Amino acid sequence: MTKYAKCGVCGYVIAIPDDKNPDDYVCPNDGNTLTDATESEYEETFLKLGDTPSSYSGYASKFVSVKAEEDGLSFSDVPPSGGWTLKHVSTNYTASTNEFVLADASTGAITITLPSPAANARVAVKKVDSSANNVTVDAGTANIDGDTTFTLETQYESYEFYCDGSEWYIL
């Protein structure tokens, strides 16, 4: 059976594990200790959100995410391929997190700049052309396995870059 806890001052309500007590938690809004709440108080709080649908019909297999404006929720499809997006470039480019970059350097050397370091960020880069022009991956303010840049020189050479929050690593 799920238990619930609420803040008596601001009305914040959460579901808590059965083996915990409400007074083990504090309100993130005002720091007050939480007290017992009922399931109906929990459900009522969620339903008060302005963007909560009156029906969940059509939302099966969707996930809930915070809108970019941080002013509500949205229901979205799960991104394909574990969240990777594909970008084909032939000029210098700054990659985004969870992006697979197909780099075409046939008209000249290009640089792919990794995004600002963030925990669990990942980017994959593949050189798709057969030219002698290099594709340089630049870590910006961070390093890639201790170096500021990494170079792809041959057609179909590819690497995945992962970030621990401060540095990039090739895996």
From CA 14, how far away is CA 35, in angstroms rounded? 10
Decide: 4 and 40 in contact? Cβ < 8 Å.
Answer: no
Query: Which pLDDT score is estimated for 34?
Result: 75
Structure tokens at 130: 């057969």
Please list, in sequence order, all residues whose beta carbon lies within 8 angstroms of the beta carbon of residue 17, skipping any fewer than 6 positions away.
3
Distances (CA, A) of 29 to 26, 46, 72: 9, 16, 17
**Which residue stretches of the chain are H helix?**
39-47
Query: Which pLDDT score is estimated for 73?
Result: 67
Query: Which pLDDT score is estimated for 8?
Result: 77
The pTM (predicted TM-score) of the whole model is: 0.55
Nearest-5° Cα angle at 118, 74 to 80 = 45
Beta bridge partners of 77: none
19-34 per-position pLDDT tens digit: 777 777 776 767 777 7
Domains of the chain: 1-52 (no CATH), 84-170 (2.60.120.640)
* Average pLDDT by stretches of 10, the chain with 171 residues: 71 71 72 73 56 65 64 62 81 94 97 92 95 97 95 96 94 86
From CA 156, how far away is CA 105, in angstroms rounded? 12
Decide: 168 and 114 in contact? Cβ < 8 Å.
Answer: yes
What residue has token string 């009522």? 44
Query: Which pLDDT score is estimated for 106?
Result: 98
From CA 51, how far away is CA 146, in angstroms rounded? 46
